[in-house]
Structure 1
Amino acid sequence: MSMKLFPSNTIAWYVARMFLVRTLAFILGLVVILESLDLLGESGKILAAAGNGEAELWTYVSLRVPQIIELFLPFAVLLATLVTLATLNQNSEVVIFKAAGISAHQILLPLILAAFGVAAINFVFNERIVTRATATLNVWKANDYARITEAAAPRTARWVRGGDDLFNAETVSGTGAGTRLGTITIYDRVDNRLTRVVSAAAARPMEGGWRLEEVSIFDVGSGTVATQDALDFSTPVVARQFTTASIDPKFVPLWELVPQISEQRAAGKPVDVLIAAAHHKISGPLSTVLMPLLGAVAAFGLARSGRLFVRAVIGMFLGFAFFVADNFMLAMGNFGTVPPIMAAWAPFMLFLLIGEAVLIRTEE
């Protein structure tokens, strides 16, 4: 058995080309079918907005297609893997490869490297195009597909928690020591029990807390209301917690998300969901690399068993089981049940081991 990675460059390129052509065919087919169905459901809403016509329909398609590609590219890679390997086996080409001393891993390596190239392209596509398209489509859809004349300004955080206390500010302006809060309400709690509600017309940061102006204090225990011109309110809440905007990872590329996570952490805000999303921006596209390994069961052993369809179904089941586990773990990470890194990477590592174990068990 040859110890080279590619005992035959011709065979490696032949297998990789079959895989890439089928991947392209599947993703194009899925995009055409799914976007046609999606457009049928949304076209009425788009055309209902005043001034919208055919151009707006094409605008919607241009914004929606990147999302469909991002979501279904791993499925296309899985289907392409199964069809490629099943075709090679059905034509007895796998038997020829193995008779020439090429191992199962060497047969799969061109597919894995091609899938890695697809993953790299997918990552760049997701971060450069999908994030922008998703953000634009989200704003347009929220406006009922009406024409947007000016960009929406980013909203600052209104609700902030510091220890047991809850802050709500109607307006936020300035940054750092120049931060000013308008119409602020503080729910002062001790051991998760509300003791008083402090309302103020304005607030500015000071050392160890905030200086409130035109203050009204409602004491929960006595049920009385007191007013005063100013109040120094001690709290761990800092100005940065109000001036850092909330982040949706779907709208932010990875290289911008990482520094924003640092800002959120410095502001005392929870960042586990953002960390999990940042890691999944890498592990998600890399899932395409797993597909040749999970679908390998469709390539080997068919000549002996004669059950091509059954083995193809098993490969498809392994691939879809990965997608289910990946979404499940990501949801658990969002709920804080598992650490964010585990939520993003555990399914990938688990099914990498499963695929390798199945391959070694059945063929090597």
Structure 2
Amino acid sequence: MQFDFFPSRTVTLYLAKLFVVRIFAMLVMLVLVLMMLDLLSNSGKILAVPGNGQGELLTYVSLRIPQLIQSFLPYSALLATLITLVALNQNSEVIAMKAAGMSAHQVLAPLLLTAGIVGLLNFGFNERVVTRATATLKAWEAVDYGAVPRDSGVKANIYMTDGSGVLTAARMEGAGEAIVMADLTWYERNPDGTISDQINAERATYANPGWKLERATRFRVQNAVTDQLDSLVVGQGLTPEQIDLAKVDADAQPFWTLSESIAAYDEAGRRTDELRAKWWHKISGPLSTFLMPLLGAVAAFGLARSGQLFLRAVIGMAMGFAYFVVDSAALAMGSFGGYPPFLAAWAPFLLFILIGETILIRTEE
């Protein structure tokens, strides 16, 4: 049996079932608690918009829950690992399995396999559900929870410069020459960098060249005069291709779409470190679920009556949360170029695999 990676079929299914049920239970508990706290902080903003009511609150919940599932599924796997292994240890089931000739790796193998499958499902869930929900929610937040945008591909908070001018837009829909920007502001600057004119407009479309502002209001800083403009063309140096690349949100784009956006950024000669780090993290993030049984394994072994079971569980939890802290820090470093993108996404994962394996081998094998 020492040369078989998995224990018997019965033991494998038994351990996998225990683990899956606890992952689901922990996830439901975390999502419900965090969703209630999130609603307490945001429901006032949603209901402050005239016409919004229970339907809009439910819409917000439906868009926010996928994000919470994505973020806290690895935490749920960590907590489920500790609960499962502590219970097995207290009931002397781990001792029975080791007495039957099973190694520590064989005890953990069903949990590792289950965590790997859950990680793959999480990756698919992120690509098909979370990215769309994130794009729609950010677009909705950009209009202060007004009318829910119908296009989930809406981009929010656009910022572009054209010579002495600066263009900002709350949201953008469409692509190419069909781009429509809404709630935008054009700042015209003096040679010394100070603002000479501020023009606010409800809508802008491509004028080939430039962008035609509709229902615009201009404020002249020098003499504090405000005047209304039926239309005005600004930003003649800004092309639709530049606007398309103005805001690429890695969290709101699926894996393959983000690959195309990174290629477009490369062609335009723009910096891609942040996007590449998040591109790699779309794989390493869901796969972190696979790590949790290994990091929490310290709670499975050692005699329960020795009085150190609680300490072992705390150590396992500390190792799991240390991984999340290091992972977030490395991703932040990779986003501004401190680490290479691949290293930022994968170094914490590989490091903690080595740490977990080292502890497991030195203490139990």
TM over 0.5: yes
Query: d(CA) in 1 for partners of 2:47 and 2:188?
Result: 43
The offset of 1:143, in angstroms, is 1.3
Write the letter of the residue equivalent to 1:265. Answer: D
Q: Cα–Cα, structure 1 residues 307 and 261, in superposed 2: closer, same or farther, change >3 Å?
A: same
Structure 2 residue 294 is the aligned partner of structure 1 residue 293: yes
The offset of 1:174, in angstroms, is 6.5
The offset of 1:203, in angstroms, is 9.9
Write the letter of the residue equivalent to 1:349. Answer: L
Q: Cα–Cα, structure 1 residues 252 and 85, in superposed 2: closer, same or farther, change >3 Å?
A: same
Q: How many residue pairs end up in the alignment?
A: 311
Structure 2 residue 5 is the aligned partner of structure 1 residue 8: no
Q: Cα–Cα, structure 1 residues 355 and 36, in superposed 2: closer, same or farther, change >3 Å?
A: same
Give unpaired runs (5+ residues) of structure 1: 161-165, 176-182, 189-193, 195-201, 205-236
Write the letter of the residue equivalent to 2:160. Answer: R
Match of 2:133 in 1: 133
Match of 1:208 in 2: none
Query: d(CA) in 2 for partners of 1:33 and 1:243?
Result: 38
Match of 1:311 in 2: 312
Match of 1:158 in 2: 160
Match of 2:252 in 1: 251
> Which whole-Å deviations, capped at 9, do the CAs of 1:301-340 have from their partners, x for residues lacking one?
1347431100000000000000000000001111211111
Q: Cα–Cα, structure 1 residues 54 and 342, in superposed 2: closer, same or farther, change >3 Å?
A: same
Q: Is the CA contact 1:77–1:291 (under 8 Å) kept in the aligned structure 2?
A: yes
The residue matched to 1:159 in structure 2 has which SS?
Answer: strand
The range that moved more, 238-247 or 123-132, is: 238-247
The offset of 1:33, in angstroms, is 1.0
The offset of 1:170, in angstroms, is 5.5
Match of 2:107 in 1: 107
The offset of 1:103, in angstroms, is 0.5
Map 1:101-250; keep pairs closer than 5 Å.
101-148=101-148, 151=151, 154=155, 158-159=160-161, 241=242, 244-250=245-251
The offset of 1:158, in angstroms, is 2.4
Q: Identity over aligned residues, as a percent?
A: 55
Q: Is the CA contact 1:249–1:278 (under 8 Å) kept in the aligned structure 2?
A: yes
Structure 2 residue 90 is the aligned partner of structure 1 residue 90: yes
Query: d(CA) in 2 for partners of 1:135 and 1:167?
Result: 31
> Which whole-Å deviations, capped at 9, do the CAs of 1:201-256 have from their partners, x for residues lacking one?
x998xxxxxxxxxxxxxxxxxxxxxxxxxxxxxxxx99955653420101101011
Q: Is the CA contact 1:157–1:241 (under 8 Å) kept in the aligned structure 2?
A: no
Q: Is the CA contact 1:88–1:299 (under 8 Å) kept in the aligned structure 2?
A: yes
Q: Cα–Cα, structure 1 residues 35 and 283, in superposed 2: closer, same or farther, change >3 Å?
A: same
Write the letter of the residue equivalent to 2:290. Answer: V
Structure 2 residue 21 is the aligned partner of structure 1 residue 21: yes
- In the superposition, the TM-score normalised over structure 2's length comes to 0.77
The offset of 1:46, in angstroms, is 1.1
Structure 2 residue 357 is the aligned partner of structure 1 residue 359: no
The offset of 1:7, in angstroms, is 3.1
Query: d(CA) in 1 for partners of 2:38 and 2:154?
Result: 29
Q: Cα–Cα, structure 1 residues 362 and 153, in superposed 2: closer, same or farther, change >3 Å?
A: closer
Match of 2:59 in 1: 59
The residue matched to 1:146 in structure 2 has which SS?
Answer: coil
The residue matched to 1:68 in structure 2 has which SS?
Answer: helix
Question: RMSD between aligned alpha carbons?
Answer: 3.1
The range that moved more, 150-159 or 345-354, is: 150-159
The offset of 1:148, in angstroms, is 3.8
**4+ runs deviating over 6 angstroms:** 183-188
The offset of 1:290, in angstroms, is 0.3
The offset of 1:360, in angstroms, is 0.4
Query: d(CA) in 2 for partners of 1:310 and 1:65?
Result: 33
The residue matched to 2:4 in structure 1 has which SS?
Answer: coil
- In our comparison, the structure showing a higher alpha carbon Rg is 1
Query: d(CA) in 2 for partners of 1:170 and 1:147?
Result: 24
Q: Is the CA contact 1:154–1:245 (under 8 Å) kept in the aligned structure 2?
A: no
Map 1:331-350; keep pairs closer than 5 Å.
331-350=332-351
Q: Is the CA contact 1:301–1:362 (under 8 Å) kept in the aligned structure 2?
A: no
Q: Is the CA contact 1:60–1:137 (under 8 Å) kept in the aligned structure 2?
A: yes
Query: d(CA) in 1 for partners of 2:267 and 2:189?
Result: 22
Give unpaired runs (5+ residues) of structure 2: 169-174, 178-185, 194-206, 210-237
Write the letter of the residue equivalent to 2:31. Answer: V
